[in-house]
Structure 1
Amino acid sequence: MKNIIIYTKNNCPQCKMTKRFLSENQVSFQEINIEEQPQYVDVLKQQGYQSVPIVKNEELTIVGFRPDQLKALAV
């Protein structure tokens, strides 16, 4: 699959569930923790995002733990 990035933060249950779903479905991704890399917070806010997890690739953006939408990445 194409470059999938997941933006997460510490102690985020939805982030953990999203990462687990992707891993269990053999979807590789790059994780960016916004608490460890705070420079991404302003970028995401400027793009209109207010919560994590945010899963992005070239064609798709998914906000929150949405297994119905994440299935599209597991193809």
Structure 2
Amino acid sequence: MNKLVIVYTTKDCIECTMVKKVLTEEGIVFESRDVMANPEYQEEVEKYGFLGVPVTVVENRAVKGFTNELKDLIELAKN
């Protein structure tokens, strides 16, 4: 069973686009949440301890940005 994957993003965020592209290439289904369109999404990001985007969440684990930690989350999402 696939785990819920959420990517907190904004419309013109290049790094966000890169994260979503990698997830798509890896076959990971994800929900994209635009923090500029919904203030509640920004509050969710802040609960994970971040102010900016992209933030990718799998289960209760969150990673900020397009980093090597994202690979770990991808593996978590697949298992």
Q: TM-score range by the shorter chain?
A: 0.7 to 0.9
Which residue of 2 is the match for residue 23 of structure 1? 24
Normalising by the residue count of structure 2, what TM-score does the alignment of the two structures yield?
0.79
Matched, 1:12 2:13: yes
Which residue of 1 is the match for residue 46 of structure 2? 45
| Equivalent-residue separation in structure 1 for 2:14 and 2:30 (angstroms) | 18
Comparing 23-32 and 39-48, the one that deviates more: 39-48
Normalising by the residue count of structure 1, what TM-score does the alignment of the two structures yield?
0.82
Residues matched between the structures, number = 74
1:22 to partner: Cα distance: 0.3
1:36 to partner: Cα distance: 1.3
Runs of 5+ unmatched residues, structure 1: none
Which residue of 1 is the match for residue 37 of structure 2? 36
1:46 to partner: Cα distance: 4.3
| Equivalent-residue separation in structure 1 for 2:48 and 2:60 (angstroms) | 16
| Equivalent-residue separation in structure 1 for 2:50 and 2:31 (angstroms) | 18
Q: Following superposition, which runs of at least 4 residues in structure 1 exceed 3 angstroms of deviation?
A: none
1:51 to partner: Cα distance: 1.1
| Equivalent-residue separation in structure 1 for 2:32 and 2:62 (angstroms) | 14
Question: For residue 71 of structure 2, what is the amino acid of its counterpart?
Answer: K
1:23 to partner: Cα distance: 0.3
Comparing 39-48 and 49-58, the one that deviates more: 39-48
